[in-house]
Amino acid sequence: MSQDNDQNQNQNRIDELQAQIDALENQSTLKIMFINNNGGGFADYIQVPGGNTIKGLFAQQMAGDPADYLIRVNRQPTTAEYVIREGDRVSITPVKVEGA
Any domain includes 12: no
Q: What is the chain's Cα-based Rg?
A: 21
Cα–Cα distance between 58 and 38 in angstroms, integer?
12
Cα–Cα distance between 71 and 94 in angstroms, integer?
9
Q: For residue 84, give the nearest of 57, 45, 44 by alpha carbon.
A: 57
Any domain includes 100: no
Any domain includes 3: no
User: Structural domain tally of the chain?
Assistant: 1
pLDDT, one tens digit for every residue, the chain (100 residues): 677 888 888 888 898 888 777 666 556 788 899 998 887 778 999 999 888 899 999 999 888 889 999 999 999 999 999 999 989 999 999 987 666 5
pTM score of the predicted model: 0.67
Cα–Cα distance between 58 and 90 in angstroms, integer?
10
Residue 3: phi, psi to the nearest 5? -65, -40
Any domain includes 11: no
Q: Which domain holds residue 60?
A: 29-94
Any domain includes 1: no
